[in-house]
Chains A and B, each alone.
Chain A
Amino acid sequence: MPLTLYVPARTTLHQLHPVTKLGLLAAFVVAAFVVDRPLLVLPLGCAIGGLLWLAHGGGNVRRLRVMFVLVFIFTLVVWTFFFTGFFRPSYAGFLFGLSTAIRLDTFLAAGLLFLTTTRVEEVAYALGRLGVPYVVGFTLTLAFRLVPAFFDAAASVVQAQRCRGLELGRGGVVTRLRRYVPIIVPVLIGALRRADRMAMALELRGFNSGRPRTTYLRARAGRADAVAGALAVATTLVYLALWASGAGRLAGRP
């Protein structure tokens, strides 16, 4: 199963400059972070939802639907019952829980929108353009490549040990932890061996060749980027103004 959420489509959103997409993500996160009123957070969530739909991200939303619902319900319940005290339900808590729930789902959706429209390599590129060292972006790309392989191997190891009668869910805490040794050792050793081979393969492809690096991805910012950038800046400014004026705050917030 591919780990990436990227949907290869040629929508305007996909074709935005990676830095613009990163900027949009930042704008949404900041805006949703600074206000508390559900009625103010909700429009952001709706806007992102609409963009996700435009970016063909519906499948991704479906893939993570359980997460969206769980985060929402859990947050709402926790805040409602624990806002003013232990197991003391309150209306203020409910309101705050509602806004936090919408906010967390908005964060989630914003992240999803970003990953739906941006390849990991583009993220690395955007980070590079923003002055982040190449190694950081590259490590990110490699992680996306390695994590699924790691989980595949782990699943295989768990099955192999089950065939030898290993039952993980039995016994006390210490016994249970010890039961993980036959899983952890092969997974780690396998990962280290593969990492070793990967280091060789990287260098065989010219990593550390001593020659200066060039870049294939050459995103050019166009009119769409100007519009998206302006929208991002405007949204951030409006929400920051709401925060500064106090209009975005919920009454009764501790």
Chain B
Amino acid sequence: MSSPAVVVRALACTYAGATRPAVRDVDCELPRGALAVVMGATGAGKSTLARCLTRIVPCFLPGEVTGDIELLGVPVRDRRVGELAGTIGMVFQDFEAQLFSTDVTQEVVFGLEHTSVAPAEMPERIARALGAVGLAGFEGRDPTTLSGGEKQRLAIAGLLALRPPIMVLDEPTTDLDPAGRAEVMQVLARLRAEGLTLLVIEHDPAAAAAADLVLFLRDGAVVARDTPQRLLGDVGACAAAGVRPPDVTRVFAGLGLPDPPLAVEAAADRLRTAGLVPRPPAFHEPVPRARSPLLEIRNLCHRYPDGRDALLDVTLSIGEGEFVALIGRNGSGKTTLAKHLNGLLAPTAGSVRLEGREVAFLPLEQLAQRVGYVFQDPDHQLFAATVAEEVAFGPRNLGLAPTQVEERVAEALAAVDLHERDADPFLLDKGARQRLAVASILALRPDVLVLDEPTTGLDHLEQERMLELLARLHATGRTIVIVTHTPWVIATHARRVVLLAEGRLRYDGPLRPFFANEELLAAAAFRAPDVTRLGRCLGCTPLTVEEFLAWTPRRS
């Protein structure tokens, strides 16, 4: 009997300067060829566990590590990260940081050259690694020309070439669009079939469905470990660990049914058998009232300096007080469109008007107070020493008096529920930084708020919090436009979907017909929320679990 792939005993880790351990009392064992998925809220210790396995802690990030880790029966104590290459590989969320070459082949070669692989053996290893991630034929390409999904797969190939029996993946799909995510998930399935031991950190329950073992972490400790069926089927266990329970689980819990299956189709069968089929009301959709158009986009075209067309003949208008979701694959032009709304980009042809006035000609100061734009990465704008200073930056740029600036800061921070005025923005967690970024725009009191992927990289509770914030802002009359890939984010609040494909407007209309149209969903590489898919199996199109439950008559 060979030793397990990974053995962790009484592992504890406290980062230098921290007061409490990031990981404590962790014991776990992964048999060879197992797929384990680690879930939990931000700060639960998921990444720290992965970093301890690969010795990034303490080799790169200083900290005190106690307990034992064995990989393939060999203790890793006192080993350097580089020495473990070929034994364990690790992929991060930030794929740009994992590519070092200007050529796909050289990227895979890199590790081989540094681990003494004989040159004669390299061509075969390169071909196999690229083949395993579906990048055969990409030899010689410049990695900067690849899509996000392709870059992440290339980073995986670079590690695979070293033939590590164990791979750790820390949120490998967080920064990818649904298509890229599906590609990486396919690669994971293939690696598993080839017998690799995989430890994957993921927020998405769908990714955990195929796992042999799911671990829930909270405050650095393993609070639950079981099969995905058991853990993800338990609303209470999910909630306790800050993990978003799958829609099916919530539906089953709401209907009082035991043992929810993880697959939507199986769940539909169970519900049909149990006679619990939702009956949607005949007229549930309020007739959209005519609103005065705030933003009017006419025949908008945008061409990049390198000659590529990003937008082609897009026409739509956004009314006051609307909540619009802008979706499409990466590279479909949605961010380009969004950046036209506040004049960050100027049309190559066509026009963008704000209340009849050409956006491109409005002075920046004036525009900033009408249309606010929150960038995807809050770290692209945070620079001040304190939270209050950060928020004050915008109002000061407008030349407001100190008392007015102070009033705006207080108002914006209250709106986003952030009270640590004197905290250092860089030390806040990701969710708070994202809310701070929103506050710094809110301080300009814009009527329209455009947000690029406001929930990406946040854990379940932070996502909920961000959405509640958006709902509140919407309720106070602001017009909201969000660019997003997350199905349930759209379903919960947005009432209108704008789908772009290859720079053209593919769909513009209400949510429900969009989610009912398989062809459109496929064009967008978009998956409807699980509860919607469950409803579709049963002949209706619910948007949320609450709606599904409200439609389902229960036997008393």
Contacts and interface: CB of A to CB of B under 8 A. Distances in A.
Given A200-B56, A200-B81, A216-B122, A194 B96 contact: yes
A156 interface: yes
A206 B380 contact: no
Given A144-B102, A208-B80, A216-B119, A186 B383 contact: yes
Interface string A150-177: 0001001101111111110000000000
A186 B86 CA distance: 35
A186 B101 contact: no
A156 B394 contact: no
Interface residues of B, number: 69
A165 B394 contact: yes
Interface in A114-166: 119-121, 141-142, 144-145, 148-149, 153, 156-157, 159-166
A155 to B, nearest CB: 10
Contact of A190 (B100, B158, B380): B380
Nearest to B111: A205
Contacts of A203: 59-60, 80-82, 85
A121 B380 contact: no
A197 interface: yes
B405 interface: no
B229 interface: no
Interface string B300-316: 00000010000000000
Interface residues of A, number: 57
A192 to B, nearest CB: 11
Nearest to A8: B140
A206 B397 contact: no
A214 B113 contact: yes
B162 A205 contact: yes
B94 A207 contact: no
Contacts of B377: 156
B383 A204 contact: no
A133 B109 CA distance: 19
A194 B16 CA distance: 20
Contacts of A160: 373, 375, 380-381
A208 B90 CA distance: 16
Contact of A194 (B85, B97, B145): B97
A216 B80 contact: no
B381 A206 contact: no
A167 B85 contact: no
Interface string B102-128: 110010011111111111001000000
A210 interface: yes
Contact of A164 (B102, B155, B368): B368
B379 A165 contact: no
Interface string A68-106: 000000000000000000000000000000000000000
Interface string A190-230: 10011011111111111111111111101000000000000
B52 to A, nearest CB: 13
A211 B539 CA distance: 62
A141 B273 CA distance: 62
Contact of B99 (A145, A153, A163, A218): A145
B339 interface: yes
Contact of B111 (A3, A181, A206): A206
Contacts of A196: 60
B142 interface: yes
A208 B116 CA distance: 11
Contacts of A186: 379-383
Given A203-B80, A205-B114, A189 B379 contact: yes
Task: Give 5 nearest A-B pairs by CB, closest first.
Answer: A165-B397, A206-B85, A185-B383, A208-B82, A206-B114
Given A164-B440, A198-B100, A210-B83, 20 more contacts: A6-B142, A8-B140, A119-B106, A148-B144, A149-B96, A161-B381, A163-B342, A164-B368, A165-B398, A181-B383, A189-B379, A190-B380, A194-B96, A201-B155, A202-B100, A205-B111, A205-B114, A209-B114, A210-B80, A213-B114
19 contacts: A1-B306, A2-B145, A3-B144, A8-B140, A119-B103, A164-B444, A167-B364, A167-B397, A182-B383, A198-B98, A200-B56, A200-B60, A202-B100, A203-B59, A204-B90, A205-B114, A205-B159, A207-B82, A209-B85
Interface of A: 1-4, 6, 8, 119-121, 141-142, 144-145, 148-149, 153, 156-157, 159-167, 181-182, 185-186, 189-190, 193-194, 196-216, 218
Interface of B: 54, 56, 59-60, 80-83, 85-86, 89-90, 92, 94, 96-103, 106, 109-119, 122, 140, 142-145, 155, 158-159, 162, 306, 339, 342, 344, 364-365, 368, 372-373, 375, 377, 379-384, 393-394, 397-398, 426, 440-441, 444
